[in-house]
Structure 1
């Protein structure tokens, strides 16, 4: 029988292979994502780049474009009407979150009532983050972290009591502040540019394919990722063998 160290090496190799595979082409265990990615020919407007392989449904893609939808009952316009050029980035952000099957390396387990997984430190392309900030800099907000701390007494998000609406640059002085703080570090500001293969694009032309698939593959091979969803079935045979050697 093979020595114990050899079985440990086999187990390690199985684990690494399983982790890499489990990070690719997956959907989060969250509120509105499908169990598995697949084609959705009629995805709406800004969500349409993911129509060939999507974690969101047609209904979710439509709701992502509404001012206050059933998705999270969240209003972008908590400090007056948000400008259209700013809002388009939040719609695209929602489409990426709900529809992308390429966020596996950054999925982490969480224990909250409305989702079991979230993304953390997704490396966002520099241009996407810079343009998001540029298009929103004339808008107003009262919070830098939009994940929590709202006043929900009316059934939708309102600024916390005592907070003030301020110009965007006072709350988010730089693009890095916006992308990293607004969703509790869901995104990470990077120096990488679109097409580099090292950053996730919020915007891409589906006619040229989805560049984020290769980015996810790169980071999964590099050993990056949160709570990798390694199937237990891959480990059980090796674990049983280890008990007998």
Structure 2
């Protein structure tokens, strides 16, 4: 009797393990090729044949529309009424990084492993700690070190009384290299830890590229898949997934 009971229990646990693995696999797949729930994002990614300028690399599969891609290139964009030149004109070589940053945020369908809930009036989801390639972050800092700003966190704390962002009272305009002494300071602090500075290199499959040549495909597809399968926060552990099952279903196993 005990032998048959033990065998039945073993079979039940095998079924539970298989079900957990299936659910975990589905959870991993659910963060691939998705758009976040935010102000200008499409519900689902898809082809956009007329994306503007620096957003064009995402035209085959994008979370942004052509209109959004045009707005990403405007100095004082209607997208968020944000003015990059709040401390004077931003140099073009620096501005192109902020345009690319906006294109990545608005257009990429490969940020799913780093999407988190957000409690703001203008978006329900945000990205957090996206691993940015070393070269992309360091070139951003190098090209912007002589640009000028009055704040290290551009997500909050501005004076919006004029309808666009102005430096809050008591702040001073300084070069980026003083506000952000290291590349990691710029990439991680400017958008409230949306990005994470890494030592991973472009083409490694372990970091998100802001810049890529679409003629060679989108390298961030493989990066998202890697972190969905291996990243700590990408998906729950297989047995943890069982906690999501209704008790009635578990009782049948």
Give TM-score, length-normalised by structure 2.
Answer: 0.89
Are 2:26 and 1:18 equivalent residues in the alignment? yes
- 2:68 pairs, out of 55, 60, 75, with 60
- 1:139 pairs, out of 126, 140, 147, with 147
Are 2:99 and 1:91 equivalent residues in the alignment? yes
Change (3 A) 1:2 1:181: farther
Which ranges of structure 2 fall in alignment gaps of 5 or more residues?
1-6, 237-241
Counterpart position of 1:73 = 81
Once the two structures are overlaid, the 10-residue window that deviates more, 149-158 or 15-24, is 15-24
Once the two structures are overlaid, the 10-residue window that deviates more, 235-244 or 107-116, is 235-244
Are 2:219 and 1:214 equivalent residues in the alignment? no
Deviation at 1:238? 6.8
Deviation at 1:67? 0.9
Q: Is contact 1:147–1:184 with CA below 8 Å preserved after alignment?
A: yes
In 2, Cα distance between equivalents of 1:32 and 1:2: 53
In 2, Cα distance between equivalents of 1:29 and 1:66: 23
Which ranges of structure 1 fall in alignment gaps of 5 or more residues?
229-233
Q: Is contact 1:151–1:160 with CA below 8 Å preserved after alignment?
A: yes
Deviation at 1:166? 0.8
Deviation at 1:132? 0.4
Please give the residue correspondences for 1:93-108 in structure 2 after superposition, counting only pairs within 5 Å: 93-108=101-116
Q: Root-mean-square deviation (CA), in Å?
A: 2.0
Q: After the TM superposition, list the runs of 4 or more consecutive aligned residues in structure 1 that deviate by more than 6 angstroms.
A: 234-238
Q: Is contact 1:15–1:235 with CA below 8 Å preserved after alignment?
A: no
Q: Is contact 2:228–2:235 with CA below 8 Å preserved after alignment?
A: no
Deviation at 1:14? 2.7
Counterpart position of 1:126 = 134
Secondary structure, aligned partner of 1:157: coil
Ranked by relative contact order (alpha carbons within 8 Å, sequence separation 6 or more), the top structure is: 1
Deviation at 1:242? 1.0
Secondary structure, aligned partner of 2:77: coil
Q: Is contact 1:104–1:225 with CA below 8 Å preserved after alignment?
A: no
